[in-house]
Each structure stands twice: as C-alpha cells, then as structure tokens.
Chain A
C-alpha cells in the first residue's frame, strides 16, 4: 500500500471481485422465485394447405395466443424470449418441431398479452405427411437473466388437427 497507484490497483481489484460475488448472489436469488405461468392457443383458421413443388406439405394458419407470463419475471430478468412450435410425429421422424412464431418480451408489464397472428415462419413438413395430422402447439419460453444462467421451459397444448385434404 505504498503509493497512490498501488492502492488504486488494490481497490479496483477488490471492488471487481466483490462485484462478481454480488452478481452470483443475485443470480442465486432467482431460485426463490416459483413461477406460475399460463397460456392458451387457439387455431382460428387454416388459411391454406398445399403441397409444394418440392413435394413438401405447407400450411398457413392464424392463431390466437393468450398468455400470462408475469410470474416468470424477477429483479434479475432482462427479457423473455418466447416461441410457439408445432410438434407432431411422422413415420419418418419421431419428433418434428416447427417454430411458427416468436417474440421478445422486455418487461413484466408486457408479459400478459393477447396476440392474433398468422404464423411468422413457414410451417413446412419434410415430406407430405400433414394431411389429417394431429399436432401439439407448444409455447416455449427462455428466461434471459441480467446475470447468471438462462432458464428454458414450456407449456404443451394438445388436441389440434390439420385438415384431411389440401385447400
């Protein structure tokens, strides 16, 4: 602790170490949050359902997405990344997951919402297995913290079925 520079360096190093410790504690405090999110998705309409020139089926649909994800937010949450995926089984693949729509929720106030939207991303199959197919719509969310580990979870909603014939 002899010179000015020596003390300034010691202070800075100690301050940064303590900062790292504070961030660890802040991240750990997220474990005390027990979230209770809820969501509901309705398919309003299948806009069109065709077989593409390459032989793959494609669907366009309009959905009503309602959710209350406010309980997922803590003081250490930066934003929430959510996406809706359609999941189904084909003879070729045991699990198919196609992402239809996503959004970033930056704050707790925006976490209780109602969206009516067509699928943002194309719902295309590998092959032509979609006629009359039963599928689940799953709402996935990734809780992105300000500091610490990211948490991912989902809510599965089943009971959806594609039309039998192309239209």
Chain B
C-alpha cells in the first residue's frame, strides 16, 4: 500500500466498524434480540477485515514515484575520497614549513 492508501484503509476501518456497531445496536434493540446484535456486529468485523486489512490494488492508486534506474546512473553517488585528502594534507604541511 502507498501512503494515501494507508490513510484511506484506516479511515474506512473506523467508519465501517462504527456503522456496523450502530446498525447492530439498533437492530438488536428493536427486535429485542441480543444474539442478533452480536451476529450482525461479528459479520461487520469480518467484512471490515476483508476490506481494509489485505493489500488491495485500490489502496495503491498513488504509488510513490521512485527514481528511474536509467536516470539514477546519470548522477552517480559521490565517492568517498579518503586517499586524495591525505595526500593534500601532507603537501600543505610541506609548503607551510618551507
């Protein structure tokens, strides 16, 4: 999932669970069955899990744009010039003393 997808997944999870809880509570109270409320809510939790937890493609609509490999080769990373620095230092010392 990309960043945008993660945010959406979290939002959907919260909304879906709350909606299912409200529906379950209302239905259970109206028909007078505690069992029905629990069943509706359990079904809702399973449904929400299936929608928000796995890595569905619709959560990847805004993928991160990684740098293209061919573009990366044109700008090589700077090398750590350890050896050349030492040489420069020694040469400077020589000139200062002399």
The residue from A1, A2, A11, A22 contacting B21, defined by CB atoms under 8 A apart: A22
Considering only CB atoms and an 8 Å cut-off, how many residues of chain B contact the other chain?
Answer: 26
- On whether the beta carbons of A8 and B53 are closer than 8 Å, the reply is yes
Bound-complex Cα distance A146 to B32 (A): 13
Nearest CB of chain B from residue A143's CB, rounded to whole Å: 14
Q: How many A-B residue pairs have CB under 8 A?
A: 57
The yes or no answer to A52 lying at the interface (CB within 8 A) is no
Contact mask for chain A residues 80-107; partner B; CB cutoff 8 A; 1 contact, 0 none: 0000000000000000000000000000
- On whether the beta carbons of B13 and A22 are closer than 8 Å, the reply is no
The residue from A11, A21, A74, A146 contacting B48, defined by CB atoms under 8 A apart: A11
> Which residues in chain B, 24-65, are within 8 Å of chain A measured between CB atoms?
24-25, 28-29, 32-34, 37, 41, 45, 48-49, 52-55
- On whether the beta carbons of B6 and A26 are closer than 8 Å, the reply is no
| Contact A22 to B25, CB < 8 A, known contacts A4-B55, A10-B10, A11-B48 | yes
Top-10 shortest CB links A-B = A1-B6, A75-B32, A18-B21, A15-B45, A7-B53, A1-B10, A146-B34, A8-B53, A11-B13, A22-B25
> Which residues from chain A sit less than 8 Å from chain B, CB to CB?
1-2, 4, 7-8, 10-11, 14-15, 18-19, 21-22, 25-26, 29, 74-76, 146
Given contacts A15-B48, A26-B25, list 5 more A-B pairs with CB under 8 A: A1-B9, A8-B49, A11-B53, A22-B37, A22-B41
> Which residues from chain B sit less than 8 Å from chain A, CB to CB?
1, 6-7, 9-10, 13-14, 17-18, 21, 24-25, 28-29, 32-34, 37, 41, 45, 48-49, 52-55
